[in-house]
Chains A and B, each alone.
Chain A
């Protein structure tokens, strides 16, 4: 019985060694194959491919407020994005303007976005009840004056779309 166990452990010693070597060889085969097929390069050379570079839909470059062709956006100025922003990079300045029935109604004056403080967590985009915010794909944000990083997202003269519920 003892002898059998000894034999077993000896054969396990050698089979461990050979299976270890085989698994090492399996790994080396993968990297070796990549080495001899240089066309498999997956990275892109950035400044050269700038003209053809296309970012993915999911890429979080900056926060934008999409406007349609009539310069209409969907922001009601409710301030939920401002409240949800963890580092206070959104400031909303609202105004009260009488509507068609003469009642005063809240509209945004300025939706201010501080790109320098944004961590692209996406909470503002996610929590916006009227889907007024989105992620843009622009990522070359380097500027010489940091004041340029403070942006007003609503375009001048833009209005809220009629169908958006307040």
Chain B
């Protein structure tokens, strides 16, 4: 456009906003990098959701410990089953070998079935052939069951959830008082010099990898507990030891977040309190702490979510094998510990174990996400703003 005119372009032309392709491209690229985080969240929710759905919809086969008493030909519609094992009912779907059958009626040990259902082929079966009962993992069973034993088709989340809650409880018992104590000490009592040398120590504590804490739990905390409470009471792998060490691991998080919250309270409040004759403790607990309570509550909740999601310490020290127990000195597997143990082996993508990982993961994701959102809400809603 400018070329058609005379040699010197007008001022208006020079200052006109020009389309800058490279600026636009850069902007788009930067936006895409930022938007990738949304993609990550979608990825998490989609993958966890998809496989969890699979987990709840796919048929599981449970061994009912009931063998075939007499051989069955390919045409026979009535089979004689052993008296042992759990009973079958009309409408159940059974599987013998690769063939599936539908139970039409039951009278004593004789069961009338429709052969070769669900597209399977009716074939002859020898006596003693194991009978499997079709089972679907219902959402209700998942949220209410107290047994987690994939080999017999029991998928109740409570043993895992209970162990998670136990370790989290112990962690909070350690981390909240000590973490808050450190926070108060650093912000209200310690001199500036002391604070500057103490904070890096806590940062180091926060930077130690969790697998090292797991080692610590197994080789220090467990022997210590066994020394105190006796070898017969405390198992080698136990939730108390794992929980206490997770507590130590979370201390720096609680102390630094609560110290930040306490330090953010303006000096004028403290000075007003001192001028009224309050002691340092009274100022700290009755003036500063209430003013910083939103930040401290947020710190507690973030610590809770961190403790729930902690994996390596429980994988090493809490024990393998789900157990529904309230005894903290017994071994029990947490949700995260179970995920690690199951996925550690060679895992087939078609197996029920594979999809169960996703169901547990989804539950854990919702718990921690919920806690994080609550903590952000608390900060936003209850924060006292001093200008």
Q: Do A and B come from one complex?
A: no
User: Which residues does B use to contact A, with CB under 8 Å?
Assistant: none
